[in-house]
Amino acid sequence: MEVVIVDRPEQVMADIIAEAVSGGASTLGLATGSSPLATYTELIRRHREEGLSFAGVNAVLLDEYVGLPPTHPESYARFIRDNFTDHIDIGEVHSPDGMAPDSKVAAEAYDALIAQVGPVDVQILGIGSNGHIGFNEPSSSLTSRTRIKTLTEKTRQDNARFFDSFDEVPMHVITQGLGTICDAKRLALVATGEGKADAIAAAVEGPLAASCPASILQWHRHATVVIDPAAASKL
């Protein structure tokens, strides 16, 4: 695992994506949450000002809330359109169907779709304060595939800031599994701020363990963790 500590992680993240895309990458794995936002803003800038093109590239999202339609402002399908993909010339953007009548069937179908459009060339990741990636909460199987998961109270509290109230945060999600995520050729995780320092320390220097799902990056053959000094403060 490579750990890069820099004042502006979004620049390094954007370099990783831009290099992959310019080098012929055909599938990007996108993450939501606030952590990759600066990276998306920088990639949009490079697209507009420097001609970085995503033509011929498709994307797959990591996860989605169950019960939120793709038009809901907090659905991840909407989030990624608003904050990134509507502003660049990328091809198709796939996400799990949070409104499917049977979430188990939808999860399996999404895993099959990723295998079909993949392998993902670069998977962008954030990290939850409890060490989750995607919505793989602590104790997720290290080889898990895309499936329905119940959110921990901690994650629902963390994400409540995006909703009008805690009660509005969905209880269930469909998320790529840790095994699915690790099928990507490269993983690039970005984190900033002191609030992520414990999770980063556990992921980078703790044991490879289901108690910290992000520690799976230690096992992956090409993983890069890009963090600012605050997120690195407990290393």
Query: Rule CB under 6 A: which residues touch ligand GLP?
Result: 31-35, 62-63, 126-128, 134-135, 155, 159
Measuring CA to CA, how many Å separate 53 from each of 44, 48, 125, 200, 214? 10, 9, 21, 32, 30
List, by residue number, the catalytic residues: 63, 130, 132, 137
- Least Å distance between CB 84 and ligand GLP? 14
Between 52 and 197, CB nearer to ligand GLP: 197
- Least Å distance between CB 39 and ligand GLP? 11
Alpha-carbon Rg for the chain, nearest whole angstrom, is: 16
Between 27 and 159, CB nearer to ligand GLP: 159
- Least Å distance between CB 88 and ligand GLP? 20
Q: In the bound complex, which residue of the shown chain has the CB atom lying closest to ligand GLP?
A: 126
- Tokens 């990741």 sit on residue: 125
Rounded CA-CA distance 148/184 in Å is 20
Whether the ω angle into residue 119 lies within 30 degrees of 0, i.e. cis, is: yes
Cα 149 off chain centre by = 16
- Least Å distance between CB 109 and ligand GLP? 20
Between 32 and 75, CB nearer to ligand GLP: 32
Alpha helices in 33-126 (DSSP H): 37-50, 76-83, 103-117
Measuring CA to CA, how many Å separate 122 from each of 13, 58, 59, 105? 10, 12, 10, 26
Between 32 and 144, CB nearer to ligand GLP: 32
